[in-house]
Amino acid sequence: MDYFLTEQQKMLKQLTRRLAEERILPVRAELDEKEEYPRAIIKDIADADLFRVFIPEKYDGLGGGTLELCLVVEELSRICGSVAVSYAVTALGAYALLLYGNEEQKQKYLPLIASGKKLCAFGLTESAAGSDAGNIKTTAEKTTDGYLINGTKQFITNGGEADIYTIIALTDKTKGARGASAFIMEKDTPGFTFGKKEKKMGIRSSTTRELVFRNCLIPTENLIGKEGMGFIITLKVLDHSRPGIGAQAMGIAQGAMEAAIDYTQQRIQFGHPLISLAVVQHILANMAIKIEASRALIYSVGRYIDSGAKSFTEEAATAKVFASDTAMEVTTNAVQVCGGAGYMRDYPLEKMMRDAKITQIYEGSNEVLRNAIAVALRKRKGRNA
Amino acid sequence: MNIVVCLKQVPGTTEVKIDPVKNTLIRQGIKSIVNPFDAYALEEGVRLKERYTGKVTAISMGPPQAVDMLRDAISTGADEAVILSDIAFAGADTWATAYTLGKAVRKINNFDLVICGRQTIDGDTGQVGPELAEMLGIPFIAYVSKVEEITDRKIRVQRMAEDGYETIETTLPAVITVVKEINIPRLPSFRGMTKAKTAQVPTWKAEDIGAEKENVGLAGSATQVVKIFFPKIVQTAEMLKGDAETQINSLVAKLKEAKLI
Amino acid sequence: MAIYVDKEKCTGCGSCQEACPFGLIDIIDEKANIKIEGCTLCGVCSDGCSFEAIRIEREIEKALIGDDHRGVWVFAEQYRGEIRSVAYELLAKARALAATLETGLSAVCLGQNVNHVEQLVAFGADKIYVVDDPIFADGSEDPYVFELVRLIKQYKPEIVLAGATPFGRSFFPRVAAQLNTGLTADCTGLDIDTEKRLLLQTRPTFGGNIMATIICPVKRPQMATVRPRVFKKNVPDASHKGETIRVDFKKASVTSKTKLLNFIADLTERVKLEDADIVVAGGRGLGKPENFKLIRDLAAALNGAVASSRPPVDEGWIPYSHQVGQTGKTVCPKLYIAVGISGAVQHLAGMQTADCIIAINDDPNAPIFQVATYGIVGDLFQIVPLLTEKLKNA
């Protein structure tokens, strides 16, 4: 289907696809097996200028928006959702700066992020604060020399690999969620260490670690926006990055469907290729229908956000939920139609299924997002819903 | 550092067919690509430019469509590109090609290093690089697998030999040919692609480079092809039958009989 | 060879000084002064002089055309004082060519203290031109280019052949370029068109998928390189008589700017590949670098050398010095065992003249079976260890 992408957008897709096929495809299984961070590929992605996509031109970026980010994430995910998330999370970690950073902060950090020299991560989740994000305990105590950060973040993607972390911590414990603030924390800050690398079901080459803050002193200038804005910033940042996760899910689903089609065309049983069976055809057709619907939805939401929309929580959530549920369904069915081969680690299908699962869970679990959508629906009181 | 890289556009596959009636190559449906060894040459040029600051100019003697390859070269780091395209250049053998490239390099002037791939996958001669060096009257080193250092008008390289490596030094300007062990060519960058789209790639003809008509193209070629044919391939193997054990016993027996073991 | 500044025309503008890539020009008393030592007569200064004040006299310029060229020459390449086998192989073929042309056959050997140079006569040469000088042992190609050009211009052979070794393929084109004559690389066939007295040079192109026959009708000499082990050398004939001409090398006239600093040998081979009677080669079918152990074990059992097709070398499983094929070595052993090698034309180019070729591959349609003597279709992981075992006990 033609989505009337601009020349630039087509070039971006084409370049990312080539990078994914030439550089990621040959090593994706090994990266997954060894749970190895794709350092060389991240460099290739940086050299191709892809980290510039979501940074404004003023800061050495290409000035692209959410749609462009989704195009890149989609093409990377089609080959490997794990490498894709290492890229996408840098955007997530950079969004707080992009949306709420002051000029000094932007000048200081954005060009480095654009060049791919420094990666980002987003530190919100804690052991007692997953979906219940408001329950964070990490504190940021204001002193004369800066803010003293204490606490532990859990399950942080790019933890240890990133240089720039957006951390959400409580500046005022009495105000609950309204007492949270957002900060920039750099990797070598004294008192900032990393916990062990998590062993995951999927996206194994992506590094997930705890962030541990023991009396970390960061300069006052590292506060993003104002004190108390922590959760406003968080919600906005997540709204912006959710379509990207939708794109990750959609890309994984696309890759799985293509692999399933290839396999069922070649695999002969009962004298015929599997794809000649109506059952298999319908499964593949359903995959194609839902993937295309995901794509159309994600691109539309991307365009909507890029047009300057002020509020798009519901739209972003819709895209992410639909695409991630689709990805889980598509990858599960892809393994199924490929039978025994689908289950074997020598074939790419089972990894795609393992990688897809997380898209239903992180950046707002689909349950929490359904809540958010329902809230929006209720606000409209049924009329023009 | 001013670097000139020579590129040639070649057929995408060497599995070519001959039209039996006309005794000519059937070239339809085969897309053109940059000669793989030249891609390594270009990458090395760009790396040296990044290491020592300077400029890379990509040149190619070929038909007008080779300009796409030159744009690709810009998208992967070449600063400028020129296409040498003229009916007069057609039919050139390696001498005439080297002559033409030499004239173009002279016109570019101010160059420190010329880099070529070790050979093309269609001609396979590997002659243009060394002949170009003679045209320019400058030193030549073949099969470079690493550029160790450039200092003070000297270049030190590792050259791949049959049984190892040689470290060789010569003065600049010089011509080198490279082998694929030297680097891994990069992918285009987005900015590079944007630049390539709008880049001006001038076309230089014989008169633009001061090339004498009797030295270019067919006229300048000392060699001519008088015949092309397919090599004869006959299925000769005696296939050994049976299971692995049987096949091996059979093989060992035959080898013993032939006194090979 | 000389370069002159016309002091009357020279205005001291300094363009030549800026242009000279070697920094050899000074402006003294408003006139250009060129330091001859180090000058390669590249001509950038004279091209750029708007006053035409710089004149260059080169001995080389016009093509050597003419019926006065006679004789077949073989460049006898030597490596570290030993004449390479390809020289003898070429002499065998050249002997036949010279006979057809009813002319003499000469060998040219440039080197320092080259052993058994007289052997070239036993292998067919009527004359040997020997140039013995330390400069030929210091690792630079430049003196070879210079001297061979000089000899050819002096003695005017009609045909000059050299081995398509890495050295041959690097220095011979430079000779051809200076002589403005034609050179055909990697010939697999050489014949004479007696009617036109032309050398017919046949070579592979397009990776070996197409053969082309080439002539050099006008320019002289007709030059060609030939891969080692394409032609077979004759049995040496001690009774064959020939003349050895020792040529003095004129030192001063060559200014070589290229220096060999160091040589690092690749010591992974225990048996030298080109000389081995038995070669066992592995290809992409091995799957993993560790599986080269199967090849090494089989080679050890046969006391043979280990080789590889291109893909494993590209992947870094084994060093390039083991690569057999179009961009690797050409071998002609008594026995060549190809394991997990499909037989792409580029690989065949390096081994198809072996006496006996065994191919082991799980694909019955693999092209390797087209050149093999015996073929085994099967699982190499089963067959090779079994074969090794059998040979150890044999």
Measured at the alpha carbon of residue B241, what is the angle toward residues B237 and B246, in degrees to the nearest 5? Answer: 125
Cβ pair B190:A49 closer than 8 A = yes
Task: Calculate mean pLDDT across residues A216-223.
Answer: 96
Any A CB within 8 A of B193 CB: yes
Residues of A with a known catalytic role = 363
User: Of B52, B56, B102, whose CA–CA distance to B78 is shortest?
Assistant: B56
Q: Could you tell me which residue, C116 or C345, shows the higher pLDDT?
A: C116
C62 to A283, C66, C153, C180: CA distances (angstroms): 75, 12, 12, 7
The tens digit of pLDDT for each residue in C12-39 reads 988 888 777 556 788 888 899 887 654 6
CA distance B2 to B8: 20
For the sheet with C278-282, list strands across it: B238-239, C374-377, C356-361, C335-339, C278-282, C305-308
Task: Calculate mean pLDDT across residues C84-97.
Answer: 95
The domain boundary residue, chosen from C222, C253, C284: C253
The tens digit of pLDDT for each residue in C99-140 reads 999 999 999 999 999 989 999 999 999 999 999 999 998 888
Same domain membership, residue C222 and residue C90: yes
Check residue A177 and give its pLDDT: 82
Per the structure, the count of domains in chain C is 3
B-chain CB neighbours of C266 within 8 Å are 163-165
Q: Which chains are within 8 Å of A by 3+ CB pairs? A: B
Cβ pair C182:B258 closer than 8 A = no
Same domain membership, residue C282 and residue C199: no
| Positions in chain B short of pLDDT 50 | 22-24, 27
Same domain membership, residue C208 and residue C144: yes
From B252's Cα to the closest Cα of chain C, the distance in A is 8
Cβ pair A18:B187 closer than 8 A = yes
Q: Which of A11, A19, A62 sits opposite B187 (nearest CB)?
A: A19
- Cβ atoms of C309 and C289 within 8 Å: the answer is no
CA distance A12 to B189: 10
Cβ pair A48:B187 closer than 8 A = yes
Q: Is residue B237 part of a domain?
A: no
What is the bridge-based pairing of β-strands B17-19 and B9-11?
A: unpaired
Check residue A379 and give its pLDDT: 86
Task: Calculate mean pLDDT across residues C70-93.
Answer: 94
CA distance A181 to C116: 88
Q: Is residue C266 part of a domain?
A: no
Cβ pair B238:C173 closer than 8 A = no
Any B CB within 8 A of A62 CB: yes
- Cβ atoms of A256 and A249 within 8 Å: the answer is no
Q: Is residue B78 part of a domain?
A: yes
CATH architecture of A120-230: Beta Barrel (2.40)
**Chain C (256-295) residues lying within 8 Å, Cβ to Cβ, of chain B:** 257-266, 269, 272, 274, 278
CA distance B227 to B240: 38
Check residue B235 and give its pLDDT: 61
Q: Which of A166-170, B71-75, B88-92, C242-246 has the lowest mean pLDDT?
A: B88-92
Q: What is the dihedral of CA B150, B152, B153, B159, to 10 degrees?
A: -30
Task: Calculate mean pLDDT across residues A108-113.
Answer: 97
Domain extent, residue C110, equals 72-253
Assigned token pair, C67? 């019926």
Same domain membership, residue C181 and residue C155: yes
CATH number of the domain that residue C48 is part of: 3.30.70.20
Cβ pair B191:A19 closer than 8 A = no
The tens digit of pLDDT for each residue in C60-74 reads 333 445 578 999 999
CA distance A369 to A229: 21
Percent of chain C with pLDDT over 90: 55
CATH number of the domain that residue C125 is part of: 3.40.50.620
Domain extent, residue B178, equals 2-215
From B13's Cα to the closest Cα of chain A, the distance in A is 18
**Chain C (97-116) residues lying within 8 Å, Cβ to Cβ, of chain B:** none
B-chain CB neighbours of A62 within 8 Å are 190-191
Per the structure, the count of domains in chain B is 1
Cβ pair B190:A47 closer than 8 A = no
Same domain membership, residue C374 and residue C332: yes
Q: Is residue C262 part of a domain?
A: no
What is the bridge-based pairing of β-strands B164-171 and C259-265?
A: antiparallel
Task: Calculate mean pLDDT across residues C169-181.
Answer: 95
Q: Is residue C81 part of a domain?
A: yes
Can you give the pTM of this predicted structure? Answer: 0.82
Assigned token pair, C1? 């060879």
CA distance C312 to C320: 9
Instruction: Give the residue extent of every domain in chain A.
Output: 7-114, 120-230, 231-379
Q: Is residue B152 part of a domain?
A: yes
Burial pattern B109-147, b for ≥16 Cβ within 10 A else e, equals eebbbbbbbbbbbbbbbbbbbbbbbbbbbbbbbbbbbbb
Assigned token pair, C380? 């190499």
A-chain CB neighbours of B187 within 8 Å are 15, 18-19, 22-23, 44, 47-48
Mutation choice for B interface testing from C64, C77, C172, C209 by most B CBs within 10 A: C209
CATH number of the domain that residue C299 is part of: 3.40.50.1220
Q: Which chains are within 8 Å of B by 3+ CB pairs? A: A, C
C-chain CB neighbours of B25 within 8 Å are 210
User: Of C110, C319, C39, C142, whose CA–CA distance to B168 is shortest?
Assistant: C142
Q: Which residues contact C312 (CB under 8 A, 6 or more apart)?
A: C282, C283, C284, C286, C289, C292, C318
Check residue B161 and give its pLDDT: 85
The tens digit of pLDDT for each residue in A39-73 reads 999 999 999 999 999 999 999 999 999 999 999 99
Q: Which of B170, B223, B238 sits opposite C214 (nearest CB)?
A: B223
C273 to B132, C88, C232, C352: CA distances (angstroms): 33, 19, 18, 15
User: Of A295, A382, A363, whose CA–CA distance to A85 is shortest?
Assistant: A363
Interchain contact C/B (3 or more Cβ pairs less than 8 Å): yes
The tens digit of pLDDT for each residue in A301-358 reads 999 999 999 999 999 999 999 999 999 999 999 999 999 999 999 899 999 999 999 9
Cβ pair A48:B188 closer than 8 A = yes
From A328's Cα to the closest Cα of chain B, the distance in A is 32
Q: Is residue B210 part of a domain?
A: yes
What is the dihedral sign for C-alpha B76, B78, B84, B89? negative
- Cβ atoms of B16 and B30 within 8 Å: the answer is yes
B113 to A128, A214, B146, B175: CA distances (angstroms): 63, 55, 14, 6
Cβ pair C387:B229 closer than 8 A = no
Check residue A283 and give its pLDDT: 98
Fold entry, domain A231-379? Butyryl-CoA Dehydrogenase, subunit A; domain 3 (1.20.140)
Q: Is residue B253 part of a domain?
A: no
Domain A7-114: CATH superfamily, name plus number: Acyl-CoA dehydrogenase/oxidase, N-terminal domain (1.10.540.10)
Q: Is residue C62 part of a domain?
A: no
Check residue B219 and give its pLDDT: 86
Any A CB within 8 A of B190 CB: yes
CATH number of the domain that residue B180 is part of: 3.40.50.620
Any A CB within 8 A of B189 CB: yes
Any A CB within 8 A of B191 CB: yes
